[in-house]
A and B are shown apart, each in its own frame.
Chain A
Amino acid sequence: MATLLRDHDNMDVSSDSGSEDGFYPRSSSFHLSQYSRPLIDFVKNEWQTNSKYHYHSASSSPSNTSDAPRWVQITLSLIAAPRFRRYVLVYVILLISCWACWKQVLSPRLEEHAALISSLDVHTKDQVGGWFGTNALPQFDDLVKIRTLDPSLLPSDTKATSGPSQRRLIVVGDVHGCKAELVKLLEKVSFNPNNGDHLIFTGDMINKGPDSLGVVDLARKYSASCVRGNHEDRVLLLRHEMYAANTLTADDASSAVDSKEEFLSTDYQERKLARQLTHDQAKWLDTCPVILKVGQIPDMGQVVVVHAGIVPGVPLEKQDPASVMNMRTIDLDTHVPSSSKSGMPWTKLFNKHQSLLYSDLKESDPDAKASTTTVIYGHDASSSLNLKTYTKGLDSRCVKGGKLTAMVIGDGGESSTVSVKCRNYMDG
């Protein structure tokens, strides 16, 4: 390798344009060296190519005769050496990439870690004057807050010794009325309700897509479980309002059924769907709780299904229902959740909170995992499928031409995700 490099050095010298090896940077270094190297270096005989002379010539170079002090000479000749310059280049590149890596990856991660830790520190709570969840939670009519899944539907604690799982939970992300894709997905996971499979929806089963009513009917047929998404919430609130105002049976065609519908312009689609729902369909959707407590699953701890998210450190009973259906990000000081897309995703704070809890308990409790909580949710199509240790985001943008995803949880808590491609229904 060393001799090879040296040969290259010498090619610098012998080539007059530097282009014959097709390596332009070297040719430019050659031109530069023309001004800094002694003339003797350009002699084209064996004295140059033979290594035994080479060292000698470098140490007792004729530049000794110049007026500059010796250390300057040495520095100059070092800088002049092409190999040195190449190494400098390599080191500079290395340094820049190290810096970039620190700046782009490591430093933000460390900062985020520190921010999350400080956000969960109880001293921060005193400093900012309190955290989200201390208020007396408001009551809402026509809204079921929490339900617990029938424990007999849970997969068994131990893995099946042979053959497939006896009981499975199939948790499906935001369907948005894409019934064809839902049918395809259920086929793909070989869903069989008679064989111990239970279907759970993470909310937003309706609206936007082509067949909301079909999805509701399918869910009812399989006695599926569900949670209330922001789209169910809006449509059901509108339906209750219309019912109270006696405008539910109005004809779709006459859009100006009352002054209010003339006044509001953006919720036409939701009003239409609210009218299309049959009494039974609406009643079934009304039973979907904001929070579904699934129960203990090995390796996942306490499993909870919600549509959007959960504020860490606040008991399920005290979660603000509107936030549970709408949140995306969370304020690190006050833990106030927000539907805004800019800010710290709630999942990061939640995962940090649970991993701190787990490492606290691990020492004393052999079954520490059982005390942690895993949240399965939908809603956040922008981050698509988002699987982390304690949060499982299943909305993979089906209605916009993405995928429809199911999380299959089998005996012993073995889980996997299965998805099918979707048509884009949001064009035009």
Chain B
Amino acid sequence: MWLSWLSRSLVLLVAIAQVRADADFMSVRTSLAKDYSGKGGDPGEKYFHESTFHHHYDGRFASNTLPESESAPYLSALIQTYLSTMSDIGAETWIMHGTLLAWWWNQKIFPWDSDLDVQISEPTIHFLAEYYNMTEHHFNLPGVEGGRTYLLEINPHYVVRTTADWRNVIDARWIDTSSGLFIDITAVRKDDDRRRAGRKGAMMCKDKHRYEENDIWPLRESLFEGVSVKIPYEYTKLLQEEYGSKSMTQTSFEGHKFNEDTKIWDRIRGNKHLSRLRGRSLDELPSRTSPLEHRLS
């Protein structure tokens, strides 16, 4: 009874909000009976919502966080499937922020971090919005029965090119519909204001990060979580600017210590170092089962 009421009121809400909010719960729901998206508390203009239980989960697809020991393989598959999909499409994407720092240390996701950040260029988001918005991508994963389905969702506010639109700084999401974990995708755009002031090559994101063309391009090819990844050209400079020099040298972070022999972040509990065992070996990668129809180049 209350469910139908919820669905009816949601449909109504969507009808009013038009594209001002993310795809509504009922149209994308997988198994949940209740919407945990947290959109109730957000202003109407905000498209993507962080769940009521954790800001790195999409509440339309999960009601709770995964235990830390289990989230690592989910995150790993999440970035692997995203990177391989973008590479197959020919859409240029690269890692940034905390994910770039994690790559710097050992080319693996930080064990304490459930946040993944990637960037794309403005022409690429136009292409993705045109051909791939709300597309589902199914992958077979080693040891996961039935595989997992990932959703690429574009924030319609991507056409708004100003930092004044502070509620919609994330331009797209790659969402694991089985766990609610997602990757934040932000577009890097020409910074018209700074260019008018004579700064040739000035770039910006809606989250107010500013870059120079030559700091990001040409991109370098490397590996992250065992798959091909693109890295901004001046990666040490970008990391130094964003996190300071110590981010690349300090061997203890967030209750973890970097083991210089194994090159793995070990969890420190009391005085004991607990070696993290990664459940899966890296040569078993997710494989795509759903076809891709459009390619960018």
Residues of A within 8 A of B (CB): 128-132, 134-136, 138-142, 234, 237-238, 240-241, 245-247, 258-260, 262-267, 270, 320, 322-323, 326, 331, 333-339
Contacts and interface: CB of A to CB of B under 8 A. Distances in A.
B44 interface: no
A263 B123 contact: yes
A137 B250 CA distance: 15
A128 B249 contact: yes
A234 B218 CA distance: 6
Interface string B82-100: 0000000010100000000
Interface of B: 90, 92, 103-107, 121-123, 190, 200-201, 213-214, 217-223, 231, 233-237, 240, 245-246, 248-252, 258, 260, 263, 297
Nearest to B258: A134
Contacts of B103: 138
Q: Which 9 A-B pairs have the closest CB atoms?
A: A136-B263, A129-B250, A237-B218, A336-B245, A266-B201, A141-B221, A259-B123, A136-B106, A334-B249
A129 B249 contact: yes
A195 to B, nearest CB: 40
Contact of B249 (A132, A140, A323): A132
A48 B192 CA distance: 85
Nearest to A240: B221
B26 to A, nearest CB: 36
29 contacts: A128-B250, A129-B250, A130-B251, A132-B248, A132-B249, A134-B251, A135-B104, A135-B106, A135-B258, A138-B222, A139-B107, A141-B222, A234-B218, A241-B219, A246-B297, A263-B121, A264-B217, A266-B201, A266-B214, A267-B213, A320-B236, A322-B234, A331-B245, A333-B245, A333-B246, A335-B249, A336-B245, A336-B248, A339-B234
A323 B220 CA distance: 13
B90 A263 contact: no
A262 B90 CA distance: 17
Nearest to A262: B123
Nearest to B90: A245
A128 B297 contact: no
Contacts of B190: 263
A140 B231 CA distance: 10
A238 B221 CA distance: 11
Contacts of B218: 234, 237-238, 241, 267, 270
B104 A334 contact: no
B240 A338 contact: yes
Contacts of A335: 249
Identify the interface centre among A130, A132, A263, A333: most chain B CB within 10 Å of its CB: A263
Given A135-B105, A263-B122, A237 B233 contact: yes
A267 B220 CA distance: 15
B213 A136 contact: no
Given A237-B219, A267-B213, A338-B236, 5 more contacts: A139-B222, A263-B123, A265-B200, A322-B220, A322-B234
A281 B217 CA distance: 22
Contacts of B121: 260, 263
A94 B254 CA distance: 58
A245 B87 CA distance: 11
Contacts of B220: 140, 237, 322
Interface of A (DSSP majority class): loop
A136 B107 contact: yes
B220 to A, nearest CB: 6
Contacts of A234: 218, 233
Contacts of B214: 266-267
Contact of B250 (A130, A136, A260, A331): A130
A226 B222 CA distance: 23
A258 B252 CA distance: 45
B217 A245 contact: no
Nearest to A237: B218
B210 to A, nearest CB: 15
Nearest to B223: A139
Nearest to A141: B221
Contacts of A129: 246, 249-252
B104 A138 contact: yes
Given A132-B248, A265-B201, A337 B236 contact: yes
B297 A258 contact: yes
A323 B236 CA distance: 8
B104 A134 contact: no
A381 B80 CA distance: 42
Contacts of A339: 234, 237
Nearest to A335: B249
Nearest to B200: A266
B238 to A, nearest CB: 11
A266 B190 CA distance: 12
A349 to B, nearest CB: 14
A322 B250 CA distance: 20
Contacts of A333: 245-246
Contacts of B250: 128-130
Contacts of A259: 123
B222 to A, nearest CB: 5
A265 B212 CA distance: 11
Contacts of B263: 135-136
Contacts of A265: 200-201, 213
Contacts of B123: 259-260, 262-263
Contacts of B258: 130, 134-135
A237 B221 CA distance: 9
A134 B107 contact: no
A142 B221 CA distance: 8
B233 A260 contact: no
Contacts of A245: 90, 297
Contacts of A266: 200-201, 213-214
Contacts of A336: 236, 240, 245, 248-249
A138 B95 CA distance: 14
A335 B236 CA distance: 12
B107 A138 contact: yes
A110 to B, nearest CB: 25
Contacts of B234: 322, 326, 339
Nearest to A245: B297
Nearest to A234: B218
Nearest to A230: B233
Contacts of A241: 218-219
B222 A334 contact: no
Nearest to B264: A136
A138 B231 contact: yes
B222 A267 contact: no
A240 to B, nearest CB: 8
